């Protein structure tokens, strides 16, 4: 019998051309007349985010995706692509000068959906072909993508399924996956371990939801002299406001008040997974700001790990109370760099809106490095002043400091940062991010819900440092 002639496998993947406005005309010359006519009929001009799908002769599809003007290129525009494409495997055809890593990450960020509570979650079925990438590239992309997904999954999960105990469980999973050490101090043990403010904020929560202090320690293999980097995250599983209770309009989104903890864990996971040369410590005070007979009251005066007495002018300014103890702990670890993440104030969103994250840092070198990394990684942050003129707004008549600033200072994100500064390490640089961690507006690739912010900027800054 004659040997069968090998038949090449049927081509099953589709092709997406990502094109700049300026290149549309030149590229269209290569199209078949029918395809070109279709492109013209659909008035495709390469506007950012626009898409036209055309049939190819072999039964596959060709898509044209607009990138807009070359000089205004933002790789994150690829977030809107997977949700617009038909189901199937897509091979990307793009100017080789563009950053492929970033494009793959953006695609994955746009393909994210939170499906935990739906029988039929809205999943995106377009898959980006990765065969052109080497193993190292794929691993780097996967680490970046899963860090963003971890932060978003945690923030999206409501407080009935993500209390302090589940924050601890997430931390254990991250630590154990990378052979990191983890210690957790829970409930009344916080008093003996000298975390009095964490205890005071979290003690009103129901049994099983006790406050806790989570500490993860990881040293990059062989990096004995690597910088000590401490990541601190506000882990308020739900913020009712405590006895100075929030109105329902303000409480609705407060499942996301552990966004800082989610970001610290996500960034920590990314750093460990990619083996950045640092000695990493992650500190998470995890509490629920609840209401019960045991709740802290307005006018209570708390002890703190740093030894400063704190007058609780408002129980809703709870984030800075738990961060006070966490930052004091950071100072004991001899850090070169301490970075805290916190959904700390409503005033941050009033100042810069939901997309631009205010940050505070008095180390000029670190601040510059962050600003550059933020631009390169399209991760918008904006430096704000630790304005000394407002420090007196935190004066208390009978304690060392109060947690609710006097009204005259007005700048709520700034005064919150000034409060933290009293407790932040004096060794090394300190950076504070006042996060929002949420997309209030849904659009293709940016669904309403959790958003990871500042991760790329901070990771890149640390990577360049280490």
Distance in Å, CB of 193 to ligand BES, minimum? 24
Write the DSSP string, 397-433: SSSSEESS--GGG--HHHHHHHHHHTTS-SSSEEEEE
Binding mask 272-311 for Zn ion (x = CB under 5 A): ----------------------------------------
283 binds, among Zn ion, ligand BES, none (CB under 5 to 8 A by kind): none
Distance in Å, CB of 159 to Zn ion, minimum? 12
Which residue, 261 or 267, is less far from Zn ion as judged by CB?
261
404 binds, among ligand BES, Zn ion, none (CB under 5 to 8 A by kind): ligand BES
Which residue, 66 or 319, is less far from Zn ion as judged by CB?
319
Structure tokens at 284: 């998470």
Identify the H or E element spanning 76: none
Which residue, 20 or 238, is less far from Zn ion as judged by CB?
238
Strand-strand pairing, 228-233 and 337-342: parallel
Which one among 153, 210, 239, 434 touches Zn ion, defined by CB under 5 A? 239
Distance in Å, CB of 259 to ligand BES, minimum? 8
Please state, in angstroms and rounded to a whole number, the distance separating the CA atoms of residues 372 and 362: 16
Query: Sign of torsion, CA 147 239 308 390?
Result: positive
316 binds Zn ion (CB under 5 A): yes
Distance in Å, CB of 241 to Zn ion, minimum? 5
Please state, in angstroms and rounded to a whole number, the distance separating the CA atoms of residues 308 and 324: 10
Name residue, tokens 């806790």. Answer: 212
210 binds Zn ion (CB under 5 A): no
Judged by the rule CB under 6 A, the positions of this chain that interact with ligand BES are 239, 257, 314, 316-319, 343-347, 349, 404, 412, 436
CB atoms within 10 A of CB 247: 8
Which residue, 17 or 238, is less far from ligand BES as judged by CB?
238
Query: Sign of torsion, CA 335 336 340 341?
Result: negative
Sequence-distant (6+) residues with CB within 8 A of 308 are 324, 399, 400, 401, 422, 423
CB atoms within 10 A of CB 402: 23
Catalytic residue among 320, 369, 377, 391: 320
Please state, in angstroms and rounded to a whole number, the distance separating the CA atoms of residues 328 and 309: 13
Among the listed residues 22, 106, 103, 16, the one whose alpha carbon sits nearest the alpha carbon of residue 69: 22
Distance in Å, CB of 453 to ligand BES, minimum? 12
320 binds, among ligand BES, Zn ion, none (CB under 5 to 8 A by kind): none
Q: Among this protein's residues, is 246 annotated catalytic? A: yes
Which residue, 12 or 249, is less far from ligand BES as judged by CB?
249
305 binds, among ligand BES, Zn ion, none (CB under 5 to 8 A by kind): none
Site for Zn ion in 249-268 (CB under 5 A): 257
Question: Looking at the annotation, which residues are catalytic?
Answer: 246, 320
């Amino acid at each position: 019998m004659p040997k069968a002639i090998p038949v090449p496998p049927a081509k099953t993947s589709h092709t997406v051309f990502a094109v700049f406005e300026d290149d549309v005309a030149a590229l269209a010359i290569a199209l078949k007349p029918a395809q070109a006519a279709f492109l013209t009929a659909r008035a495709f001009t390469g506007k950012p985010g626009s898409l036209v799908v055309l049939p190819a002769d072999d039964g596959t599809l060709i898509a044209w995706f607009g990138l807009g003007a070359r000089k205004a290129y933002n790789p994150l525009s690829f977030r809107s692509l997977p949700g617009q494409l038909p189901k199937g495997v897509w091979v990307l055809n793009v100017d080789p000068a563009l950053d492929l890593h970033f494009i793959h990450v953006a695609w994955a960020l746009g393909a994210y959906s939170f499906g935990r509570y739906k029988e039929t979650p809205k999943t995106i079925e377009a898959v980006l072909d990765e065969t052109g990438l080497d193993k190292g590239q794929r691993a780097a992309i996967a680490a970046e993508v899963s860090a963003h997904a971890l932060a978003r999954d945690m923030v999206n999960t409501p407080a009935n399924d993500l209390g302090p105990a589940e924050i601890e469980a997430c931390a254990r999973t991250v630590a154990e996956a990378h052979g990191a050490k983890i210690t957790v101090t829970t409930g009344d043990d916080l008093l003996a371990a000298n975390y009095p403010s964490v205890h005071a904020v979290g003690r009103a929560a129901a049994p099983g939801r006790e406050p806790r202090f989570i500490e993860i320690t990881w040293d990059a293999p062989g990096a004995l002299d690597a910088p000590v980097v401490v990541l601190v995250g506000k882990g308020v599983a739900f913020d009712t406001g405590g006895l100075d209770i929030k109105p329902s309009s303000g409480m609705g989104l407060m499942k996301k008040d552990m966004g800082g903890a989610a970001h610290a864990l996500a960034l920590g996971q990314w750093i460990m997974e990619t083996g950045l040369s640092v000695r990493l410590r992650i500190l998470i005070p995890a509490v629920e700001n609840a209401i019960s007979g045991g709740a802290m009251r307005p006018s209570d005066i708390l002890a703190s790990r740093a030894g400063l007495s704190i007058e609780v002018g408002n129980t809703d300014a709870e984030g800075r109370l738990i961060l006070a103890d966490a930052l004091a702990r950071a100072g004991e670890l001899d850090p070169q760099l301490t970075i805290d993440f916190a959904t700390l104030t409503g005033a941050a969103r009033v100042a810069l809106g939901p997309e631009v994250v205010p940050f505070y840092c008095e180390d000029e070198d670190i601040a510059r490095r962050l600003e550059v990394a933020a631009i390169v990684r399209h991760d918008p942050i904006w430096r704000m002043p630790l304005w000394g003129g407002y420090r007196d707004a935190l004066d208390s008549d009978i304690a060392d400091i109060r947690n609710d600033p006097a009204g005259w200072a007005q700048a709520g994100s700034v005064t919150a940062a000034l409060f933290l500064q009293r407790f932040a390490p004096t060794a090394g640089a300190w950076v504070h991010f006042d996060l929002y961690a949420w997309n209030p507006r849904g659009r293709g690739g940016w669904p309403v819900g959790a958003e990871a912010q500042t991760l790329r900027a901070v990771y890149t800054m640390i990577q360049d440092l280490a």
